[in-house]
Amino acid sequence: MLSELHVRNLALIEKADVEFKEGLNVLTGETGAGKSIIIGSVTIALGGKVPKDIIRKGADYAYIELIFTVSDPEKLSMLKEYDVHPDGDGTVIISKKIMPSRSLSKINDETVTAGKLRDITGLLIDIHGQHEHQSLLYKSKHLEILDRYQDKKSHELKENIAEAYREYCRLKERLSTFALDEETRLREMDFIRFEMEEIENADLKDGEEEELTSRYRLFLHGKKIAESLSQAYSAVSTDLISRALKEMESVASYDERLSAIRDQLFDADSILSDINHEISSYMDDMSFDEEEYSQIEERLDVIHNLEAKYGKSVSQIFTNLEEKRIRLQELEDYDSLKRKTEQDIKEIEDKLDDLCGQLSYMRKDTAKELTKKIKAGLNDLNFLDVEFSMEFKRLDHYTSNGYDEAEFVISTNPGESLKPLGQVASGGELSRIMLAVKTVLADSDDIPTLIFDEIDTGISGRTAQKVSEKLSYIANSHQVILITHLPQIAAMADAHFEILKSAKDGMTQTTIRTLNDGEMVEELARLLGGAKITEAVRENAREMKRLAVKKTMTKIK
């Protein structure tokens, strides 16, 4: 879950530190207090777009830090696959530093890319912003919701489909290479044979280039080597060490230390004598053979020319040669290989058709169960005469996700035909439909933290009460964080935070604080009573909170 949020110098926020709790975390405040900035800071930290001029006036940078606590073994294992290793308490720290010219994201103090950040945080938190419910207008979202609901049942089948689809694409691409006419095929065969003959006639050998290059270098620098050897020979051929040894021999018997020096000189004389012999032997072996030099140069030219045409090294040339052999064989067996590929495609299409059919059948069966539950949820949210279903259409092609196209359809009034959500539902209705969906998915959705921004837009009265109960139900199995202006929802809070706007040193700033029990009642009274809060309003707020506390943890069907 999201344990802590720390914000510095972000828009109206100079400093904000929040410790979220398990269950339902509610944020309330006056209009314009900056409630959306709090949720916005989380979105930004998770890789969302950074608005222009988001850094607080007078500050050099803005900073956001999210601290998650992860205890689920499966989640910990998935994080390790991304090379994220929480500490012993399961802590994962995500931070974002926003500077005028760039932004920097880190996970546990390791800098990460935006893509990796989104992948990792997608395991931990799901944000439903003010307009996120609009995603229900897209059919692809509907199929995604269905698949998430039945994930455990269809996971293996979907993996098999994805694997078969990859093979199908590979074979289709291979078939596209069999589009040559006879003249082009024969011309390519002749060219490949010419290239293979050129490589084979060169009779290349592993390690040959390195050996020739070394020999060539000796020839190229022979004069310099000879001069240096001559100077070295003269230097080690002096008899200075021999004279020193002779002198020490005459006095070595007088002192052990002198004897030790004599022994060292003896070793040095032996070493120099060996070096002298080695230099002399090397000089005797040195010769410059003009013909050999020319042959080496010509052979290296052959190798280098082949490398320029067929690979950067001899080993790459050999690999290229093998590829040409394979391609030549393909061209020689062109018609039979084409027929074989076509047969393979037919077989994989049959396999895909069977697997996709199984998935489609499973989806349609599960869709009846899912839409029935969503309809019940909509009834609870004051869609009293609603009809809700899912329509399927088979695509004319395969995908890695099967061949289904599915769409939720709804009728909100008796006698009306079922129509796509986008043709029927308003913004407020879409928000409630999304809440009904999330309620149904609560038991199967493994993302621990859900954030709802303005989920209560356009609702009031009994509907607001039903929405609060749905949110409370989701909070039984998930951490829920939301902004609301409705007292019915705020009363259900396990933790209640107030967003305040004030002026300091001529600047506006937003702060956030945790409310105690008495302050919760006072904030509920404000939400109930508006500008004037009477004792009767306060008593109403106390009663609302008492009723909320008494509510059982029974799951809402």
What pLDDT is attached to residue 345?
95
Per the structure block, which two tokens stand in for 245?
């040894």
Interatomic CA distance for residues 88 and 469, integer angstroms: 36
- What average pLDDT does this structure show over 245-254? 81
Q: Greater confidence, 195 or 225? A: 195
Is there a contact between 481 and 449 (Cβ–Cβ < 8 Å)? Answer: yes
Q: Greater confidence, 530 or 259? A: 259
- What average pLDDT does this structure show over 234-250? 78
What pLDDT is attached to residue 286?
67
Q: Greater confidence, 229 or 247? A: 247
Q: Greater confidence, 109 or 363? A: 363
Q: Greater confidence, 513 or 432? A: 513
Instruction: Find the DSSP H helices in 237-289.
Output: 240-251, 256-285
What pLDDT is attached to residue 557?
40
pLDDT of 99 above 70 = yes
Give the HSE-up count for residue 125: Cα atoms under 13 Å, Cβ half-sphere: 26
Q: Greater confidence, 296 or 285? A: 296
Q: 183-197, 236-250, 519-533 — which one is most confidently predicted on average?
A: 183-197
Interatomic CA distance for residues 88 and 45, integer angstroms: 24
Q: Which amino acid is at 183?
A: E
What pLDDT is attached to residue 555?
38
Helix axes 314-332, 182-202, angle to 10 degrees: 150
> pLDDT tens across 201-229, in order?
999 998 888 888 887 877 776 667 766 77
What pLDDT is attached to residue 426?
67
What pLDDT is attached to residue 392?
96
Q: 129-138, 168-177, 358-367 — which one is most confidently predicted on average?
A: 358-367
Q: Which amino acid is at 456?
A: D
- The confidence band for 554, taking pLDDT boundaries of 50, 70 and 90, is very low
- What average pLDDT does this structure show over 124-135? 66
- The confidence band for 148, taking pLDDT boundaries of 50, 70 and 90, is confident
pLDDT of 496 above 70 = yes
Interatomic CA distance for residues 501 and 17, integer angstroms: 15
Q: Greater confidence, 126 or 355? A: 355
- What average pLDDT does this structure show over 491-518? 87
pLDDT of 17 above 70 = yes
Helix and strand counts by DSSP (H, E) for the chain: 19, 15
What pLDDT is attached to residue 132?
54
Spell out the domain ranges in the chain: 1-124+447-557
> pLDDT tens across 458-489, in order?
677 778 888 888 888 888 888 999 888 889 99
Mean pLDDT of the chain: 85
Superfamily of domain covering 1-124+447-557? P-loop containing nucleotide triphosphate hydrolases (3.40.50.300)
Per the structure block, which two tokens stand in for 100?
């005028």
- The confidence band for 125, taking pLDDT boundaries of 50, 70 and 90, is confident
What pLDDT is attached to residue 466?
84
Interatomic CA distance for residues 147 and 161, integer angstroms: 14
- What average pLDDT does this structure show over 102-110? 91
For the chain, give the percent of residues with pLDDT over 90: 36
Is there a contact between 9 and 63 (Cβ–Cβ < 8 Å)? Answer: yes
Q: Greater confidence, 221 or 401? A: 401
- The confidence band for 552, taking pLDDT boundaries of 50, 70 and 90, is very low
Give the burial class of 16: count Cβ atoms within 10 A of its Cβ; 0-12 exposed, 13-18 middle, 19 or more buried. buried
